Amino acid sequence: MATTREGAGPVGAEPLLVAEDIRKHYDVGAHQVLKAVDGVSFEIYRGESVGLAGESGCGKSTCARCVLGLTQLTDGVVRFKGEDIAGLRGADLMAFRKDAQMVFQDPYASLDPRMTVADIVAEGIDVHGLAKGRAERTELIYRYLRMVGLTEEQAGRFPHEFSGGQRQRVGIARAMAVDPSLLVLDEPISALDVSIQAQIVNLLEDLRDERELSMLFISHDLSMLRYISDRVIVMYLGVVVESAATEELYEHAAHPYTQALLASVPIPDPAAERARVAGGTKLTGEVASPIDLPRGCRFAGRCPRATERCRTEEPALREIAPGHLAACHLVS
Ligand code: ADP
Ligand code: MG
């Protein structure tokens, strides 16, 4: 597992998940198309934890739905364990549904209020027939409650009896209970009190280190991704603008958008401070509409360094250092 910590993945290993030039366009009427995801490629290796960053509206959740097969792609392919997930049927589809789990942002909305915590955690165990009988089912429920820092005594309670942080622990236990190989977490701490966020990040760090688990950890907050990700991908308006191993990205952020995200980090962070010194300017303005995309670089309208070329020619994503990709005309 240690070999995957370098970012590019172990040499010769098959990635667990591959997204190949995926697109998700929405027809929004009046012959207009909203390009939520517009040609994104990445892979996730076994045991690797990948962060997906970008402001609200950049296409992160749409990417999550695409890789989990929850929405039909407009174009491109998602492969899981080598298989195109669009072609999965029957038992193969069930196996994929078990193997790739999702943890949602809102622990209030994602747990059924009429179900006990035990039944919520056992949802996947029941659907996939993972327990042989009552006793094993209960044993599994207890095991996963303990794994996320909850107790057996809490199994019979209902979601409303729990705090936000505890509910998110229940959501994580539910996902972990089917022993997945991939966990996709979409803003798992954004709805929680700041005081609780670090506890959930610690829990996720423990899961990452203790299991051969791959994670796609989505957040608008780059500072949070630093603690949990081996590699970070930064999206802007439907495309990847930068990606690198975590330390490389935080120490040598190359794209003005990544630099601006780091400069906008609210909490003191030495790497963010260095990025600021290195030239990052805080973000101004808002994410443009993915309906009327600009002709050149999608970030040009907000980029303090944009040139005429940036406004007319879309920059390609290219390798600027080993394992470090950026899409910017200004980076040499
Ligand atoms: P993020 O998770 O980064 O905030 P999303 O993936 O949720 O971004 O959204 C990306 C863009 O796609 C946004 O402009 C959003 O409004 C749009 N979008 C998402 N889902 C739909 C949908 N079902 N129909 C039309 N537009 C959508
Ligand atoms: Mg989202």
Task: Note the pLDDT tens digit of each residue in 191-235.
Answer: 888 888 888 888 888 888 888 899 999 999 898 899 899 999 999
What is the band of 298 on the pLDDT scale with cuts at 50, 70, 90? very high
Q: How far is the CA of 62 from the centre of ligand 2 (A)?
A: 7
111-125, 190-204, 273-287: range with lowest mean pLDDT: 273-287
CB of 26 within 6 A of ligand 1: the answer is yes
The environment of the single-atom ion ligand 2, i.e. residues with CB closer than 5 A, is 60-61
Q: Which helix (H) or strand (E) holds 247?
A: helix 246-251
Q: Which amino acid is at 266?
A: P
Q: Is the sign of the CA dihedral 61, 98, 228, 140 positive or negative?
A: positive
Among residues of the chain, what percentage have pLDDT more than 90?
A: 72
For 186, phi then psi, to 5°, come to: -95, 105
Tens of pLDDT, residue by residue over 250-272, are: 999 999 999 999 988 765 556 65
Out of 40, 62, 186, 240, give the residue to mutate to test ligand 1, the one with the largest number of ligand atoms within 8 Å of its CB: 62
pLDDT of residue 282: 78
Rounded CA separation 90/125 (Å): 18
- If one compares 10 and 219, the residue with the highest pLDDT of the two is 219
Q: How far is the CA of 15 from the centre of ligand 1 (A)?
A: 27
Q: Which helix (H) or strand (E) holds 219?
A: strand 214-219
**Dihedral (Cα; 8, 10, 12, 14), 10-degree rounding:** -80
CB of 117 within 6 A of ligand 1: the answer is no
Roughly how many angstroms between the first and final C-alpha of the chain, as a whole number?
Answer: 33
Atom in ligand 1 nearest the alpha carbon of residue 289: 14
- Residue with CA nearest ligand 1 atom 7: 61
What is the band of 236 on the pLDDT scale with cuts at 50, 70, 90? very high
Rounded average pLDDT over 300-316: 95
What are the angstrom distances between the C-alpha of 101 and each of 11, 86, 140, 186, 315? 26, 17, 17, 11, 34
Out of 26, 67, 74, give the residue to mutate to test ligand 1, the one with the largest number of ligand atoms within 8 Å of its CB: 26
pLDDT of residue 9 exceeding 60: no
323, 159, 307: which is closest to 230 by C-alpha? 323
Mean of the per-residue pLDDT values for the chain? 90
CB of 105 within 6 A of ligand 1: the answer is no
pLDDT of residue 270: 60
Those residues with Cβ within 8 angstroms of residue 17's Cβ, 6 or more apart along the chain or in another chain? 43, 44, 67, 78, 79, 80, 100, 182, 214, 216
Among residues of the chain, what percentage have pLDDT more than 70?
A: 92
| 290 C-beta neighbours (distance < 10 Å), count | 22
What are the angstrom distances between the C-alpha of 214 and each of 1, 9, 13, 47? 10, 12, 14, 4
CB of 165 within 6 A of ligand 1: the answer is no
- If one compares 35 and 294, the residue with the highest pLDDT of the two is 35
What is the band of 1 on the pLDDT scale with cuts at 50, 70, 90? very low
Residue 193 structure tokens:
């009190």
3 state DSSP class of 116:
coil
Q: Is the pTM of this model over 0.85?
A: yes
Tens of pLDDT, residue by residue over 13-54, are: 889 999 999 999 999 988 899 999 999 999 999 999 999 999
89-98, 167-176, 240-249, 289-298: range with lowest mean pLDDT: 289-298
User: CB–CB of 13/46 below 8 Å?
Assistant: yes
